[in-house]
Structure 1
Amino acid sequence: MTETTLLFILTTVGAAMMGVFAIMVRMKAIKKPATVKKIIIPPIMMSTGFLMFLYEPTHLPLARIIAPLLVGAAASYLLIRTSRFEVHNGDIYMKRSKLFIFLLLGLLLARVIIKAIMGEQIHLAQMAGMFFLLAYGMILPWRVAMLLMFRKKQQEIKAPLMDMPMREKT
């Protein structure tokens, strides 16, 4: 087995494990009420991944920056369209979306296919940077949209309380 084949297998298994972990975390998270903090923390924490681009082998030409960001934005559109919040006992919960799991699995499959086809043409560090950009291009617009939907749902909950007439003291 060549070093390239071994690296391909290890990185694919690693990506699969991260995908399964993301699905498990997501399924656990929707059992608890959503908060602004839980919505904005993932893209903020993920943004530290941009530090990888300080490492010279990860530097990308402009086309290899724009393409994964656009693909990520397209994927985020699907997540935005299927993400919904529900109110239970005065708390706001994220509604489970089956598309999330299929999208993650689809991205993993696309990653494997792209690596198999282009792995010899694009350096591994650059490929990692492109997949990071794809993921960030997906999560940032999705989380911004989630934040806007969450704030709207908060306003819907508060609005009926403000419309109630105040009782007079007797």
Structure 2
Amino acid sequence: MGSINPSLLHIGSSLGAMLMALMVIFIRLKASDRPVTLRKILIPPLGMSTGFIMFVVPETRVPLWWALAAFLAGWFVLAYPLIKTTSFHEKEGLLYVRRSKSFILVLLGLFLVRTLLHEFIDRYISIPQSGGLFFILAFGMIVRWRMFMFRTYRRLVPPEAHAAQ
């Protein structure tokens, strides 16, 4: 099996990240037109958790303390702007995520931070390892953000409505 040119891999991963960022923006804008449910809050982090399968491949593995640092950076630093730009409103007895222009700016800012960090980190570790670290960082960010949404939803929606979902 031939090796992949690291420059092409780097360009591909950057383009992939940009495509994912644009896709997230598009999906979030469409989601604000539909009512929020517990499933819609909980499924993204559960689906994303399947990405941990990548660590079966030895080239993606990193020291545990690196993984913990990446997770905590996502949890404490990068989730904060998402939490601050996410709010709910009620319309016709249903709960919706309020559209926020700053949410798009936050996602683009997070993409920029990711790109700049990638440039720095790729000098010291392999591309598969940095991909794994950025996955863990994003997972920490998403889990905390979705936990915030879950708690807010549970506070705003009466318990009998939860059973209907």
Q: Could you state the TM-score of these two structures normalised by the residue count of structure 1?
A: 0.85
Partner secondary structure for residue 92 of structure 1:
strand
**CA distance in structure 2 between the partners assigned to 1:154 and 1:22 by the alignment:** 26
Unaligned ranges ≥5, structure 2:
none
Q: Who wins on radius of gyration, i.e. which is larger?
A: 1
Please tell me whether the aligned partners of residues 86 and 98 of structure 2 are also in contact (alpha carbons under 8 angstroms).
yes
Residues 1:154 and 2:157 aligned together? yes
Please tell me whether the aligned partners of residues 79 and 99 of structure 1 are also in contact (alpha carbons under 8 angstroms).
no
**CA distance in structure 2 between the partners assigned to 1:65 and 1:99 by the alignment:** 29
Identity of aligned residues (%): 39
Partner secondary structure for residue 43 of structure 1:
helix
Aligned pair partner of 1:20 in 16, 19, 22: 22
**CA distance in structure 1 between the partners assigned to 2:7 and 2:128 by the alignment:** 15
**CA distance in structure 1 between the partners assigned to 2:10 and 2:143 by the alignment:** 28
For residues 133-144 of structure 1, the aligned pairs below 5 Å read: 133-144=136-147
Quote how far apart the aligned CAs of 1:156 are: 9.7
**CA distance in structure 1 between the partners assigned to 2:69 and 2:94 by the alignment:** 39
Quote how far apart the aligned CAs of 1:72 are: 0.7
Amino acid aligned to 1:42:
P
Q: Give the 4+ runs in structure 1 shifted more than 6 A.
A: none
Quote how far apart the aligned CAs of 1:157 are: 10
**CA distance in structure 2 between the partners assigned to 1:102 and 1:135 by the alignment:** 17
Unaligned ranges ≥5, structure 1:
159-170
Q: Could you state the TM-score of these two structures normalised by the residue count of structure 2?
A: 0.87
Corresponding residue for residue 46 of structure 1: 48
Aligned pair partner of 2:96 in 87, 93, 96: 93
Q: CA RMSD in A?
A: 2.0
Corresponding residue for residue 72 of structure 2: 70
Q: Could you report, residue by residue, the CA deviation over 1:43-70 in whole angstroms, capped at 9, with x for unpaired residues?
A: 0000000111111111111231122112
Aligned pair partner of 2:113 in 110, 125, 144: 110
Corresponding residue for residue 57 of structure 1: 59
